[in-house]
């Protein structure tokens, strides 16, 4: 018994050690960026290997937050991310449900077709979307970008959630059906709570995609005040930040932080959604 316990404890220490190493390895570039961002000028660049600059300063962060319209971009990024999440999830949950629960002619074909469509390099779509949006008057508007992002992530959403819906046994639904619930009601009351992890994972994926996208964001938005964070920083890296590496690093870290915070908080829900025991085969 004690021997077993000791072995277990050693096992966990090793596992913890492995994960600490792994996290450190993965974080090296970021720690390096962090040390750059805390240094004044480009000092850390040429000195030896160190993760702590000699005179740490928050000037770079202060400069970004106060001098550049950082907060406006942050707000835009939130609008775009949330808008995209709502629209993309709103349309793909129903579609995923339909593809998972109904057997109808053309089902397999459409699913495959969607996958193939997703394989088309999006960068090639830019010109066509530009022409279309110009006609629709959606250029230089957040709604336009939200539609592009939602459309781009929609296929991913459908496939990802369909995969999860498939693992939810039909018996659970059958029981509610007998109670007289309609399909949509069923979806909202029974399937969605059960599929919480999939829904959260998919939403976060969409959020991160929007958060980090810069090409459409800078092409379809025209004024500095309407850029998203990634787009705004992309505009800047050719100018101010291109000159100052430490500013660029500080900006990079600032962009990543909101995503990390969100990620840290949703983890709890992911786990509880998964372990509540709704999923039994």
Partner 1 sequence: MKKIVKAMLCVLLIMSLAGCSRNNTVSSVKEPEVTGSETGENQDSKEATETKPVELKIWHDGDEAIMGIIQTSLNESLKDKKITVNFEKKAGLTDQIKLYGTDAANGPDMYLYAHDSVGMFAEMGILAPITDVIGDESLSELLPMTVQAGTYKEKKYQLPVYFETLLFLYNKDLWKGEVPNTTEELYQYMKENTDTAAGTYAVVNQHSTAYNVSPFINGFGGFILSAEGEPGLNNAATKEAIDYNKKFAALQADGDYNTVTTLFNEGKAAAIIGGPWLISGIKEAGINLGYKSLADFTLPNGRNLAPFAGVQGVCVMKYAAEAKKDAIGEVLKTLAGKELGAELAKKSNCAPANVKAYEDTEVAANEMVVTMKQTAETAQPMPNIPQLTVMWAPTESLLAAVNKSGEDLDKAADKYQQEALTAIADMQ
Partner 2 sequence: MKGKKKYQPWLYSSPAMILIGIIIVFPILYTGFISLTNMNLFHWLDYRVIGLENFKRALFKVDSGFLKALLTTLLWTAVNMALQLVLSYFIALGLNAPGLKLRRLYKTLLMFPWAMPAYVSILLWRVGMFNTEFGLFNKCLSALGLSKVNFLSENIPAFLSCMILNLWMALPFMIMMIDGALQSIDKCYYESAKLDGAGFWKQNLHITIPFIKPIMAPAVIMTTFTTFKQFDIFYLLTMQKGAYTGATIQTIITYAHQNAFVSNNYGLSSAVSIIIFGIIIALSLFTNRGVKETGEMALRKKGGAYDKA
Least distance to partner 2, CB of residue 256, Å:
4
Q: How crowded is the C-beta side of 218, counted as CA atoms within 13 Å?
A: 13
Site for partner 1 in 127-146 (CB under 8 A): 127-128, 130-132, 134-135, 139-140
**Of the candidates 50, 67, 243, 267, which one interacts with partner 1 according to CB under 8 A?**
243
Q: Which stretch binds partner 1 (CB under 8 A): 17-25, 26-34, 88-96, 222-230?
A: 222-230
Least distance to partner 1, CB of residue 46, Å:
5
Which of the listed partners (partner 2, partner 1, none) does 238 bind, with a CB threshold of 5 to 8 Å by partner kind? partner 1
Q: Does 111 bind partner 1 (CB under 8 A)?
A: no
Task: Determine the size of the site formed for partner 1 (CB under 8 A).
Answer: 36
Site for partner 2 in 17-76 (CB under 8 A): 18-19, 22-23, 26-30, 32-33, 36, 45-46, 48-49
Least distance to partner 2, CB of residue 244, Å:
12
Specify the residue, 23 or 123, whose C-beta has the smaller distance to partner 1: 123
Least distance to partner 2, CB of residue 225, Å:
20
Q: Does 106 bind partner 1 (CB under 8 A)?
A: yes
Q: Which stretch binds partner 1 (CB under 8 A): 25-33, 43-51, 167-175, 189-197?
A: 43-51
**Of the candidates 6, 182, 242, 272, which one interacts with partner 1 according to CB under 8 A?**
242
What are the DSSP calls for the chain, one per residue?
Answer: -HHHHHHHHHHHHHHHHHHHHHHHHHHHHHHHHHHHHHSSTTHHHHS-S-SS-SS---HHHHHHHHHS-HHHHHHHHHHHHHHHHHHHHHHHHHHHHHHHH---TTHHHHHHHHHHHHTS-GGGGHHHHHHHHHHHT-TT-HHHHHHHHHHHHHHHHHHHHHHHHHTS-HHHHHHHHHTT--HHHHIIIIIHHHTHHHHHHHHHHHHHHHHH--HHHHHH--SGGG--HHHHHHHHHTTHHHH-HHHHHHHHHHHHHHHHHHHHHHHHHHHHHHHTS----
Cβ atoms of 201 and 274 closer than 8 Å:
no
Q: Does 115 bind partner 1 (CB under 8 A)?
A: no
Least distance to partner 2, CB of residue 34, Å:
11
C-alpha distances in Å from residue 268, one per residue of 161, 189, 197, 200 = 20, 21, 10, 11
- The residues of the shown chain that bind partner 1, judged by CB under 8 A, are 41-43, 45-46, 104-107, 109-110, 113, 127-128, 130-132, 134-135, 139-140, 218-219, 222-224, 234-235, 237-240, 242-245
């Amino acid at each position: 018994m004690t021997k077993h316990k000791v072995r277990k404890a050693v096992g966990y220490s090793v596992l913890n050690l492995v994960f600490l190493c792994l996290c450190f390895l993965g974080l090296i570039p970021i720690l390096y960026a962090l040390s750059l961002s805390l240094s004044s000028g480009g000092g850390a660049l040429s000195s030896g290997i160190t993760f702590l600059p000699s005179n740490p300063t928050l000037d770079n962060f202060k400069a970004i937050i106060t001098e550049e319209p950082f907060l406006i971009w942050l707000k835009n990024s939130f609008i775009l991310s949330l808008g995209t999440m709502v629209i993309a999830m709103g349309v793909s949950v129903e579609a995923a449900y339909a593809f998972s629960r109904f057997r109808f002619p053309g089902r397999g074909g459409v699913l495959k077709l969607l996958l193939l469509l997703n394989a088309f390099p999006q960068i090639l779509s830019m010109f066509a979307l530009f022409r279309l949006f110009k006609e629709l008057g959606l250029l230089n508007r957040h709604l336009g970008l939200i539609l592009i992002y939602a459309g781009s992530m929609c296929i991913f959403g459908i496939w990802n959630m369909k995969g999860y819906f498939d693992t939810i046994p039909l018996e659970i639904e059958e029981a509610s059906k007998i109670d007289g619930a309609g399909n949509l009601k069923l979806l909202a009351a029974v399937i969605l709570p059960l599929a919480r992890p999939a829904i959260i994972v998919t939403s976060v994926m969409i959020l991160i995609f929007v958060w980090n996208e810069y090409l459409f964001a800078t092409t379809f938005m025209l004024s500095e005040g309407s850029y998203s964070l990634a787009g705004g920083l992309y505009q800047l890296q050719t100018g101010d930040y291109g000159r100052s590496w430490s500013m660029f690093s500080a900006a990079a870290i600032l962009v990543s932080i909101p995503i990390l915070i969100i990620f840290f908080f949703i983890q709890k829900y992911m786990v509880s959604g998964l372990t509540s025991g709704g999923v039994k085969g």
